[in-house]
Structure 1
Amino acid sequence: MSVEAVVSDLTDRLVRGLPPGAVVVDPDVTAGYRHDMAGFCEAGEPAVLVFPETVEQVQHVLRTATELRVPVVPQGARTGLSGGANAVDGCILLSLVKLDRILEIDPVNRIAVVQPGVVNAELSRAVAGHGLAYPPDPSSWESCTIGGNIGTGAGGLCCVKYGVTSEYVLGLDVVLPDGRLLTTGRRTAKGVAGYDLTRLLVGSEGTLGVVVRAVLALRPAPAPQLALAAEFPSADAACAAVCEVMARGFTPSLMELMDSTTVRAVNAMARMGLPDSTRALLLVAFDSVDPAAELAAVAELCRAAGATEAVPAESPAESELLLQARRLALPALDRLGTTMIDDVAVPRSRMAEMLRGVAGIAERQALTIGVVCHAGDGNTHPVVVFDPADPAETDRARRSFDEIMALGLALGGTITGEHGVGLLKRDWLARELGPVGLEVQRGVKAVFDPLGIMNPGKTL
């Protein structure tokens, strides 16, 4: 049978169980869905793009895929940074953006039940009306979806106090590759019945099944946070302050660090007025009962570590102005050229070594590399800037990316703190897991997906 006949048969079968307009084969349309926001990742040519609107329709898609042995690539908003949503040749691109309902908000049990296409910020706004919060807040929270957050195990700026996505997913409904519906987890505050399949599925990047419903834990809405900005003459001094803050038992709601390259880029873009002597900027915030007192104490710790300035905000509005510098970090670096964002987490105590090492890599490779960090949990985002029209510079960018990951592993860290593995870091995952870990994970994959049709080529 010819390729055209195979695609025609696939399309005909899909159309039978999907609403009008839900099956798209126009290459001009499918081209826009071939990849996520990661650089250096190949994307194949999909056979078809589908937009199911119900769980039953997702089941129909996967049953069809299993019958015809066609690969399936689940997608959310495609804001990912690892190539996890990139098409493979001949695949079904399964977009879940139309499963976008908040099914339930339960203030008594502090849970929300949502479909995967719900946008993170929309959920946050909905639960805020009940005096509650959904803490995971990726930088792309205004556009990324809960399904995508679950797929990658996403984090965000508040992780230092509130943790990452996996800590808020209590239960899941997942369509398996053969179309069966698997329900995992619970609605209760605690429960330990059986293997924790929910945690297994969070971060699996669509390689085991398709999440169609999630039970999420909520928290009481925090008080407005107050922030502090501290300027340091070196990254080492800033990292020493981070370690001291954590060692003294403080629990900030946010602790972010920008290196000198990032500070200069932000200054150039927004005229923040930071002096040229600022080699690192540390932002710390608290949403506690007495944030002003905690900020005053942290300011003293920063000065003792070598900060030249440590300025606490006096109001939430002033805090927002201070935090604007962090929010502008990636847009400011983007203005310098094409960027590739790494995602290496190391122990907090070794973050200074990580920043020194990245600076050395930038010097050796003759590249601009800015670093922004979720300093409270050691998650660093080195941002490699390069000219894709220059083959030599592009090659150096690739080498620097690999050197950064090798450095992170050497410091006892991990190749990804919150972005996922996808295509971008597949080879590095094997190095981090080791042969036994890789064998066990491939065994798990085979149980869920014996035909290997779910997001093939990603992670493992």
Structure 2
Amino acid sequence: MKELVRELGDVVSTDAAVLEEHSRDTSRAEPGGLPAAVVRVHSATEVQTVLRWATTHRVPVSVRGAGTGVSGGALAYPGGLVVSLAAMNQVLEIDAPNRIAEVDPGIIVDQLDQAAAAHELMYAPDPVSYQTATIGGTVDTNAGGLRCLAHGVTRDVIAGLEVVLADGRLIRTGSRTRKNSTGYDLTGLFIGSEGTLGVVTRVIARLKPRPVGEAVTFSAQFPTMAAAGAAVATIMASATTPEMLELMDRNSIDIVQRHFPSAVAAEGEALLVGQTIGTDAQQQAEAVVSACRDAGALLAEAGGGEELLDTRRMVNPALNAAGLALSCDVAVPPSRLAEMFERIDDISVQTGYPVNTCAHAGDGNMHPSVLAANDSAEEVAAAEHVLTLITEAALDMGGVISGEHRIGSLKTGMLAQQFDPDTLDLQHQLKGFFDPVGILSPGRAI
């Protein structure tokens, strides 16, 4: 450690408070102990020094942005290093003619979007934590968000990366061109790799023109989540693609109301909310409302306020405020949402645990959660069992065990249920090729 301090100086911290602050993310995962040091890097050169040192001394490294991840991917390793990229937080360039942004990995997603807005452009992906999450973290997890229905997830807007490999080499992937058919898609390989293949030190992101026209919010109340799921399937089979299409069950809305009171109330068991944007936004919203009415909505209207969408964004904070919330992140084909919600109801009845569900409904990505009565090992295990049953139900429907939050340290046990042995083995081989010593987030993601 003295050797590392000699090379990097005071960017290396062994202060107990700093170690504790950087040891965990916002997930329920608990670190096994404190790291030996936190290295708050300011440049790719410093990252190279850190990883060379870690490889030489066989020290495990976890990579951290803002720590907003919910799957335990940024947890410290006992006696390991935490590499914090939060200080690398500049917008390096907004190239408006080419609709490209080049940024440090520690820039907050909302800050990047606001920088693009000054040029009438937008950075489209918007995770719920967009005001605190870093772009590097969203690249590492291939984050989604509310706007991703219309604009795609993080993978769809990243043009290139600068990455430091485990042995300290620095590589650049992708390009700033609109088209690129050269070589393997290394950019895509690093996106969503959760820091297991390299450390992202620069991001080249594609921007889009900011939508022109009004924004119209719509909502629909349904007697059941299954009925709302059927309405979503109808909407997604139509010619209209809303900017956002979100779904909350009554349990989720009630929890938000208890902790963050608003004027939003659930008349039925499910609330579908969304937004259309553009010169024909009102017409699109009315088409969605009509589809909801045809699908049996108790109430459907266009023209609601932003408060509806704010309520959706407050579900996770409300669950955290309510107690020990255990959640999962599964995705199914949108056409099977209704069936999936019926399975969740059956699982809730079978286990005796109420399930709170919200969803990025248009892309079939849902976040069921269970509130554990206490933090005893037995109670947590029982709540985890409910989520396991829900995840297995998603797999039965051709779904996946994570739609946007990735695997981290919490979900590795279920990878073998989604991947066949050869496919999973190939991923382990890729990990071994890029990180032969195994210092980068060992035991996570795959």
- Alignment TM-score > 0.5, same fold: yes
Query: Shift of residue 26 of structure 1?
Result: 2.1
200-209 vs 403-412, which deviates more? 403-412
Which of 54, 72, 76 is 1:83 aligned to?
Answer: 72
- The SS at the match of 1:83 is coil
Instruction: Say if 1:154 and 1:164, in contact at 8 Å, map to a contact too.
Output: yes
Query: Shift of residue 251 of structure 1?
Result: 1.0
Query: Shift of residue 40 of structure 1?
Result: 4.0
Instruction: Say if 1:272 and 1:325, in contact at 8 Å, map to a contact too.
Output: no
Q: Compared with structure 1, are the counterparts of its residues 42 and 16 closer, same or farther at alpha carbon in structure 2 (3 Å cutoff)? A: closer
Residues 1:24 and 2:17 aligned together: no
Q: Distance in 2 between matches of 1:139 and 1:425?
A: 21
Residues 1:432 and 2:415 aligned together: no
- The SS at the match of 1:368 is coil
Counterpart AA for 2:263: M
Residues 1:132 and 2:121 aligned together: yes
Residues 1:387 and 2:373 aligned together: yes
Q: Distance in 2 between matches of 1:273 and 1:37?
A: 27
Query: Shift of residue 395 of structure 1?
Result: 2.0
Instruction: Say if 2:326 and 2:384, in contact at 8 Å, map to a contact too.
Output: no
Counterpart AA for 2:280: D
Q: Distance in 1 between matches of 2:258 and 2:35?
A: 41
Q: Distance in 2 between matches of 1:65 and 1:331?
A: 36
Q: Distance in 1 between matches of 2:8 and 2:324?
A: 39
Instruction: Say if 1:208 and 1:448, in contact at 8 Å, map to a contact too.
Output: yes
Residues 1:200 and 2:189 aligned together: yes
The residue number in structure 1 matching 2:280 is 290
Which contiguous aligned blocks of 4+ residues in structure 1 show a shift greater than 6 angstroms? Answer: none
TM-score normalised by L of structure 2:
0.96
The residue number in structure 2 matching 1:399 is 385
After superposition, give the CA deviation of every residue in 1:39-79 in whole Å (9 maximum; x if it has no partner).
14444331111111111111111111111111111111110
Residues 1:347 and 2:333 aligned together: yes
The within-5 A match list for 1:323-338 is 323-338=309-324
Where does the alignment leave 5 or more consecutive residues of structure 2 unmatched? none
Q: Compared with structure 1, are the counterparts of its residues 440 and 273 closer, same or farther at alpha carbon in structure 2 (3 Å cutoff)? A: closer
Which of 417, 426, 438 is 2:403 aligned to?
Answer: 417
After superposition, give the CA deviation of every residue in 1:412-453 in whole Å (9 maximum; x if it has no partner).
100001101011101112221110111111111111001111
- The SS at the match of 2:98 is coil
Instruction: Say if 1:41 and 1:424, in contact at 8 Å, map to a contact too.
Output: no
The residue number in structure 1 matching 2:224 is 234
- The SS at the match of 2:306 is helix
Counterpart AA for 1:294: Q
Query: Shift of residue 390 of structure 1?
Result: 4.0
Which of 268, 271, 292 is 1:281 aligned to?
Answer: 271
Q: Distance in 2 between matches of 1:41 and 1:326?
A: 27
The within-5 A match list for 1:13-412 is 13-19=3-9, 21-223=10-212, 224-269=214-259, 270-272=261-263, 274=265, 277-313=267-303, 318-412=304-398
Q: Distance in 2 between matches of 1:212 and 1:284?
A: 35
The residue number in structure 2 matching 1:7 is none
Q: Distance in 1 between matches of 2:40 and 2:244?
A: 37
Q: Distance in 2 between matches of 1:359 and 1:41?
A: 30
Structure 1 vs Structure 2 CA RMSD? 1.5
Query: Shift of residue 225 of structure 1?
Result: 2.0
Where does the alignment leave 5 or more consecutive residues of structure 1 unmatched? 1-10
After superposition, give the CA deviation of every residue in 1:373-427 in whole Å (9 maximum; x if it has no partner).
0000000000211133344322211111211211111111000011010111011
Q: Distance in 2 between matches of 1:258 and 1:133?
A: 27
Instruction: Say if 1:263 and 1:279, in contact at 8 Å, map to a contact too.
Output: no
After superposition, give the CA deviation of every residue in 1:176-221 in whole Å (9 maximum; x if it has no partner).
1111101111110110101100000000000001000011000001
Query: Shift of residue 267 of structure 1?
Result: 4.1
- The SS at the match of 2:97 is coil
- Taking only the aligned residue pairs, the percentage that are identical comes to 42
Instruction: Say if 1:168 and 1:216, in contact at 8 Å, map to a contact too.
Output: yes
Q: Distance in 2 between matches of 1:389 and 1:452?
A: 33
